[in-house]
Structure 1
Amino acid sequence: MGLFSSNYSRPGPGVSKDTPKDNRFVHYWKIYGRHFWDLMKLNLLFAIPAVLLLVAAFIISLATGNVLLAGLPLIALSPFMAGLTYETRNFIREEHVFVLHDFGSKLKENWKQFLANGIITYIVYEILLIAIPFYSQNQEKLGPVISIIALALSMAVLFIFTAMQFYIPLEIVTFDMKLSQMYKNAGIFAISALGWNLIGFLISAFLVFLLWFCVYLGAYVPLFLFIIVLLAIFLLWSFWSYTINSLIYPTVNRLMIQPTLKKESEERGEPLPEEDPAFTDWDSMHEDDSEDNEDEDED
């Protein structure tokens, strides 16, 4: 039995090796521009539950003053990541998407694993939310060496776990395997693709800061609240998902998808289909006229 579930579509024949290839940055913007309106529709679908649950979290925060309780509604947002991730992945692979239908079908198909991942994510981030301020504010009590080491480890866990969350949604909508195995793979990717993960981490941090900054200024200039509402409804979520998946997909493709397709093709005695350029890590690709006629690319 193959590794991939029924929600994985085998890539098409691709393009000729002689076709000029855009660099990764240009390729990213070409696809984004081509699917801009679909990405806006997708963002609107995700924004409906996202805004409602964020408002619920804000109300709980005001009512209780408890950050731990305020984060609980966001667990319910996790299953909706299925539709968002699946469709942005397909845009990257330049596969057709039915925005409304695919969003609902992938939500129904994958909600259990996404919800489980959401619970785990909530627990880990809440622990880090307690640990990082504790170690930074109790240096005299714990001792400078212990507190600095503990703080550094906590920050490392924050980065690695956040990087893992880039990969896990993509793995869920692409592969048929246990969540524990997905976590193992994501942990490997979080370290092996450190450069791309750092870029994704910085982009995510910038978007969070942008949200906070607009909300902060909105208290003085209502226009900024209007801006953040427009971003949340039409742009923010799909842009983030598309950007993160664009950064990480070549790694997943090179280390998981292509080896599995090769194995399955060999078992059936069929040649491996030529890679679509949308799957290729352009910055590190090199041509290799091997016996298998495959392009092997390295990060």
Structure 2
Amino acid sequence: MGFFSSDKYTKPGKGIEKDGKQKRPLFRFFEILWRKKYKFIGINLIYVLLNILSPVLVCGIFYVAISLYGAFSGSADWAVNLLESGQISRYFQFMLFFAVFLTSVPIFAVGPLQAGFSYIMKSFVKEEPCFLWHDFITKSRSNRKLAWQVSLINGIAATVLILNFTAYLIISDPKGPYAGVIPGFLLFIVAFVIIALFMILVMMNLYMYNMMVTFKVTLRQLYKNSFILVMMKWLPNLLMLIFEGILIAIPIFLIFTKYFDFIVTLVLYLFITPAFIGFLNNFYIYPTVKKYLIDNPNADKSENGGTDDNAAVAAEEKTSTGRFENGMWIED
């Protein structure tokens, strides 16, 4: 346990000087990333090991979707054909990609763990003092009810959309038994709606857990504010997801040595991928959250609707105040 008990995980970050000049975002991003590299590895290991069931669940859903497609596409020996055609490795590559992507964004996650993880990432972005294990556990517990609701809703919604898209592929297969049953323009509309809803759901997850650990919000307010921010910034949000998808896909699809792509992706996922994607997401969305919610006294961000300035200020940040004495954090 020497890795987790090291002093670097019990000491606060140095933070930023009061009235200090802010660096350009790109330089600041990489400076924080490098300065806190060991903390990133530490929180990534904690999160991945505790959240291990999420990628397993995604792989299971992917397998069910592929199995349904094979069963209803009119090809009884689809699995044999997959093996004989040499495409089985491509099948596992796509499964691996979706497992990493959908648990790093995250659509599929153990909600309370993701809340604690997001709080740590937000603290890194704001360069505020934080203790990895203590704050991770504390924020996971304090947000567990809302976080469980969000993770269950998102997981169910994503599963339904994935299975609906599988049904679309079965019906639209020109060689399948259902070819020509539904007009092509209707199939196009169905595909567009499914993909659009799925992308909106993914983009909303860029904001949800950050707002959960920042404001005192209800489930309705959380989804409402996330949806509004997605619509306001839909193009930058989409570009961010595409960029993250490319980052995740590089080791999976561009390493051609058999099994080496899996090993590299697994090592990256274990040590850095969720933390890097989580930090990138929080670094990207925090200015938007600050502009439209934190600095907006009329935003719907508290249980009182955000109309009471004092209540809004009190609910703005779920951070503890205190001081350090003899290496110990003492809350005021």
Whole-Å Cα distance in 1 between the matches of residues 64 and 192 of structure 2?
A: 33
Q: Aligned AA for 1:250? A: P
**Residue of structure 1 equivalent to 2:224:** 184
Whole-Å Cα distance in 1 between the matches of residues 115 and 181 of structure 2?
A: 44
- Show CA shifts across 1:2-49 (max 9, x none): xxxxxxxxx998426xx4x43322221122122111111110110112
Whole-Å Cα distance in 1 between the matches of residues 229 and 64 of structure 2?
A: 40
Counting aligned pairs with the same residue, the percent is: 22
Superposition pairs for residues 86-165 of structure 1, below 5 Å?
86-139=119-172, 140-165=180-205
Distance 1:211 1:112, change over 3 A: farther
Whole-Å Cα distance in 2 between the matches of residues 65 and 135 of structure 1?
A: 13
Larger Rg: 2
Q: Would the aligned equivalents of 2:58 and 2:108 in 1 still touch at CA under 8 Å?
A: no
Distance 1:124 1:261, change over 3 A: closer
**Residue of structure 2 equivalent to 1:170:** 210
Higher relative contact order (CA 8 A, sep 6+): 1
Query: How far 1:175 moved relative to its partner?
Result: 0.8
Q: Aligned AA for 1:167? A: Y
Number of aligned residue pairs: 250
Q: Would the aligned equivalents of 2:122 and 2:210 in 1 still touch at CA under 8 Å?
A: yes
Distance 1:154 1:211, change over 3 A: farther
Structure 2 length normalisation: TM-score? 0.65
Distance 1:197 1:59, change over 3 A: closer
Distance 1:26 1:75, change over 3 A: closer
Whole-Å Cα distance in 1 between the matches of residues 310 and 186 of structure 2?
A: 54
**Residue of structure 1 equivalent to 2:285:** 248
- Show CA shifts across 1:112-136 (max 9, x none): 2111111111111111112223334
Distance 1:229 1:266, change over 3 A: closer
Distance 1:208 1:141, change over 3 A: farther
**Residue of structure 1 equivalent to 2:36:** 35
Whole-Å Cα distance in 2 between the matches of residues 229 and 137 of structure 1?
A: 32
Query: Alignment RMSD, CA only?
Result: 3.6
Which one of the candidate residues 4, 15, 20 is aligned to 2:19?
15
Distance 1:264 1:142, change over 3 A: closer
Q: Would the aligned equivalents of 2:251 and 2:261 in 1 still touch at CA under 8 Å?
A: no
Query: How far 1:56 moved relative to its partner?
Result: 6.7
Give unmatched runs, 5+ long, in structure 1: 1-10, 271-299
The structure where helix makes up a greater share of residues is: 1
- Show CA shifts across 1:87-141 (max 9, x none): 0001001101101111111111112211111111111111111222333443422
Whole-Å Cα distance in 2 between the matches of residues 174 and 44 of structure 1?
A: 24
Whole-Å Cα distance in 2 between the matches of residues 198 and 241 of structure 1?
A: 16
Query: How far 1:205 moved relative to its partner?
Result: 2.3
Q: Would the aligned equivalents of 2:41 and 2:272 in 1 still touch at CA under 8 Å?
A: yes
Whole-Å Cα distance in 2 between the matches of residues 58 and 137 of structure 1?
A: 20
